[in-house]
Structure 1
């Protein structure tokens, strides 16, 4: 072997060893960095919880892994919902709520993953269902002006699994009164009003997507179940559901609409490959994407929220929600969970919210329905497709359709318009 070849081989061997050593070191360093990042996040979460730092918790809910695990959620969620302080005494037995029968039907369909011939699983399922019904009925009996809607049991199920019955009961009351109140009135019109604002968001951020939806006469009601359950009905991965709740609990109730807009825009390329037909587009969009990049969507939703805050968005859209909508009262003194983003160390006073429930709905516009702004032809087509989806679609699609078809405002609008 020549001297030149020996030198070349020595160089290549040294280079190979150096690369191997560098790679090994990189791998060793990479693992601690990931671990260190998680440990730093946990320390930041702990500090924010101990000090009651709401802005810090909000910031952490937007990035990375949110609140990381259920152990931290059991500390963070009650703090954010102000259920970490003593509440009122247990209510005495009251009259049967008008929606109790519907609650019982939904309870029967809950915790299906525990359906098994195993006796132990059957016992667990029965106990979970009993706990879930107790949580829902506690909310309805404390606040009889609230109406139960199909989907609230999905919200309460998430709370029960993460927090346990006692804490979930308190959390469900706060969510119902401050976040989901618009869903729990005598009809779904306030929720349809919220969803209508998604059209404005898409028009502002991605006009091509909204043009496509307009061309296919697709109305913005396809993500109804996403908004009224915070995706708990549509996502099969509980870890993703909990991650979304980390985020949504931290912000105005309208954040779920910003989230839906972000999801739609994340699917723009796939959407444009769908035939521009109402039924095809609606069916495609109604199915929440299982492979969604959740962190990217959350980040985009937060960016939309920051750019177009709820009041600004309503003004831009020239479509205003009810003055006493949970969206508009969320930061209003007297009906807010916080005092300038500072935790109030007393139990939540639900009196002002109960008072709002007794007041008539007031809008800045003369429109009487969220549906009045859409062409008759689009609504007629929408009704026909909704009926088909109720009859033939999978549960995740059919539920949203059924909820809308059964809403008082939708039926009344159809009757007044002569659409049968």
Structure 2
């Protein structure tokens, strides 16, 4: 390659501290850039140049950083200590520390010498096109002002990272939003270690999300209401009455909020917390976040559209340290095992309500059907086997009526003969 990518990063690029999500407007693709004479190499190390967290540290954050650095220099630091440091206020403080501690939290090999396969080697995978499409949609998850060459390398690395995991574990299914999780680790620890982290998470924390159907994921989202029912009954009643459901929280759970937050510092702080927490903790954070916005919920109309619109958009000014502390307290009071009965009851009620709704709709539709369609329900299946359209049903009905008439006529004739004494058994 003509020059290392690091030489092309300007000081301004190194100081960015926030990013925007979900910008579908960018159509820069590899072919366009190659047409402009820009070259790049796959497996290019872009990790060290992605400086989101150059904001000045507060005095409290400095003290936390010193504590983490001291723990890194102490060979006796155990997993419980790493979890405590990640959970406590300010988390792991900056990406340089996260790069060292995140692998320790998941007990994965931090060695970066392993080489990933080239993108061309994975292009025949059945999920390739969908993964590329999602990666292209998430361009604004990359550092603002990133040079073309480095961005292309990152896009390819992200695509390779995702495909490597689902190829190694064929029973796992890629879902839209998985790339939001993967890119966060890629930006912080690089492609080699991020593969090991995603491999571990995909077979543990995210495993249910990667099943062939979303049945278990939908079930898990009901924990949100079970938590609110215990912690804030008034808020639970409002949400339940509005019938807003759980869809507003689905991207939160699937992406660990990476898809929904606009501040990079908030995203990586939450990832510190989730890596040190049990798998269902994102649901407790979701409940805590909704509680944090309870007054906003009370101030708007109690209807599905209004509340869904409000909750699905997360403001930039939330105090996530407060939200995380509340989530930890709620988890201690109401661990998942304690809520399981409430969740099952809610799911069963939803199933019963859905059946009633379907029956009501079916009856309403039946009332509006023409007579020939209503008769369909009273005709035997064998008669309808070859008559699946309007005129076929009419013909079948006429045939049945003619047969009935013939039967009655024959019966009437027989009865007349019997009365005349001409009937012989």
Q: 1:161–1:375: structure 2 CA closer, same or farther, 3 Å change rule?
A: same
Is 1:188 the counterpart of 2:214? The answer is yes
In the alignment, which residue of structure 2 is the partner of 1:109?
Answer: 137
In the alignment, which residue of structure 2 is the partner of 1:260?
Answer: 286
Query: 1:354-373 alignment to 2 at 5 Å?
Result: 372=351
Q: How many residues in Structure 1 have an aligned counterpart in Structure 2?
A: 300
Q: 1:379–1:300: structure 2 CA closer, same or farther, 3 Å change rule?
A: farther
In the alignment, which residue of structure 2 is the partner of 1:100?
Answer: 128
In the alignment, which residue of structure 2 is the partner of 1:343?
Answer: none
Is 1:283 the counterpart of 2:306? The answer is no
Structure 1 Cα separation of the partners of residues 283 and 168 of structure 2: 28
Is 1:82 the counterpart of 2:61? The answer is no
In the alignment, which residue of structure 1 is the partner of 2:93?
Answer: 68
CA RMSD of superposed structures (Å): 3.2
Contact in 2 for aligned 1:226/1:234 (Cα 8 Å): yes
Contact in 1 for aligned 2:87/2:276 (Cα 8 Å): no
In the alignment, which residue of structure 1 is the partner of 2:155?
Answer: 129
Query: Can you give the 5+ residue segments of structure 2 that lack an aligned partner in the other structure?
Result: 1-56, 360-425
Structure 2 Cα separation of the partners of residues 146 and 33 of structure 1: 44
Is 1:247 the counterpart of 2:273? The answer is yes
Is 1:153 the counterpart of 2:179? The answer is yes
Structure 2 Cα separation of the partners of residues 52 and 115 of structure 1: 33
Q: 1:15-71: per-residue Cα shift (whole Å, max 9, x none)?
A: xxxxxxxxxxxxxxxx996476335532464267x4352222222222221011111
Q: 1:75–1:114: structure 2 CA closer, same or farther, 3 Å change rule?
A: closer
- How far 1:224 moved relative to its partner? 0.5
TM, length-normalised to structure 1: 0.65
Is 1:270 the counterpart of 2:296? The answer is yes
TM, length-normalised to structure 2: 0.64
Q: 1:77–1:199: structure 2 CA closer, same or farther, 3 Å change rule?
A: same
Is 1:54 the counterpart of 2:54? The answer is no
Structure 1 Cα separation of the partners of residues 223 and 350 of structure 2: 12
Query: Can you give the 5+ residue segments of structure 1 that lack an aligned partner in the other structure?
Result: 1-30, 321-364, 381-420
2:262 to 207, 231, 236: 236
In the alignment, which residue of structure 1 is the partner of 2:202?
Answer: 176
Q: 1:170–1:278: structure 2 CA closer, same or farther, 3 Å change rule?
A: same
SS in 1 for 2:248: coil
Contact in 2 for aligned 1:196/1:221 (Cα 8 Å): no
Q: 1:94–1:35: structure 2 CA closer, same or farther, 3 Å change rule?
A: closer
Contact in 2 for aligned 1:77/1:246 (Cα 8 Å): yes
Q: 1:316–1:40: structure 2 CA closer, same or farther, 3 Å change rule?
A: farther
- How far 1:189 moved relative to its partner? 1.3
SS in 2 for 1:178: coil
Contact in 2 for aligned 1:183/1:228 (Cα 8 Å): yes
